[in-house]
A = this chain, B = another copy of it.
Amino acid sequence: MKTFTVELGARSYPIYIGSGLLSRPELYQQHIKSKQVLVLTNETVAALYLEPVVSAFTGYTVATVILPDGEQYKTLEFLNRVFDELLTRKFNRNATLIALGGGVIGDMGGFAAACYQRGIPFIQIPTTLLAQVDSSVGGKTGVNHALGKNMIGAFYQPLCVLADTATLNTLDNRQFSAGLAEVIKYGLIRDIEFFVWLENNMEKLLERDPELLAYVIERSCLNKAQVVADDETESGVRATLNLGHTFGHAIETGCGYGSYLHGEAVAIGTCQAADLSWRLGWLDDNEKDRVIRLLAQARLPITPPELATERFLELMEVDKKNLDGQIRLILLHAIGKATLPVNIDHSTLRMTLENYGKA
């Protein structure tokens, strides 16, 4: 087992990474101070992993909330089911919420914990690659709104994160690849050595070799933790974690939440960001091709859906990075070197939207 500490002063917390950690509940139970525990999960994950988590809590009052599986349920309405259960069970503000699942469950669990009685303790047990490499670090929580992704939320840190790499064996290929989109992102924005490693090891990684997985998760968390430590509430460099995300969020919102997995939409968005960086003369042909090739090699979609350019632009105008009506994007100066948010001229952006990935 590796233990990786996210350094945030008084709110620092450990991430435990390894295979089979779900059978070591003492790792997370040592952080729990009260006897009331609510486990939030979804139907898919519940069938696989709810029982071992719940049965580890002898002597506790344990409530469970099982949501349907999918990004389309990441709403205020479904969040309210968590509050209903917490209040029906009369859980107090020392109660601990455990989010057991992927990115959707982690985001909703963290936000429910942030809001219930203005904040209760919270533990993450991410069971997807995406959640292990992305949601484990950074404290971003929230839900979607019909008009924009992740528009309602809070910054809220967990007590600890337990990343059991064995849970990745039950992921379908689509879910697994979706996680790789965020892994590749860390290489692209700040870690060229990791990017090259991924180019050389993608085949073995797709076979889910446990050693390689633990390495990839730790290196991703390390990259993210360094960025977040410099900028916890995203006033500067943290925005680079959004490479491909403004395009991606537009795809997710425009096609309806749940049509694309988040990582899939980010993969397409990353290709579009690479294309735009190339049009601006920042990436050369070879660099652009390497970006797209590695995403394709990870079995991710690289072609945008049919979405009219005007609609795409309108969706991109609702983004947390935007200021004063300007669309601001994270692009690439090179592989391993992201820009800060840059104001983008609409005519160049249109070129990418109208030409990239079109037959």
Contact = CB atoms under 8 A, between A and B. Distances in A.
Contact of A118 (B92, B140, B325): B140
Nearest to A323: B92
A88 B147 contact: yes
B320 A117 contact: yes
A35 B324 contact: yes
A158 B318 CA distance: 24
Contacts of A93: 320
In the A-B complex, the 7 residue pairs with the smallest Cβ-Cβ separation, listed nearest first, are: A87-B147, A117-B320, A118-B153, A115-B152, A92-B322, A87-B148, A90-B317
A148 B324 CA distance: 39
A142 interface: yes
Interface string A137-162: 00010100101100111110000000
A339 interface: no
A92 B148 contact: no
A112 to B, nearest CB: 9
A84 interface: yes
Nearest to A317: B90
A233 to B, nearest CB: 7
Contacts of A114: 154
Contact of A115 (B117, B118, B154, B325): B154
A304 interface: no
B34 A324 contact: yes
B151 A154 contact: no
Contact of A119 (B87, B90, B233): B233
Contact of A147 (B84, B151, B325): B84
A87 B151 contact: yes
27 contacts: A34-B323, A35-B324, A76-B80, A80-B145, A83-B145, A84-B145, A84-B147, A87-B148, A90-B317, A90-B318, A90-B325, A92-B322, A92-B323, A114-B154, A115-B115, A115-B142, A115-B152, A115-B154, A116-B151, A116-B152, A117-B151, A117-B153, A118-B153, A118-B154, A118-B233, A119-B154, A154-B154
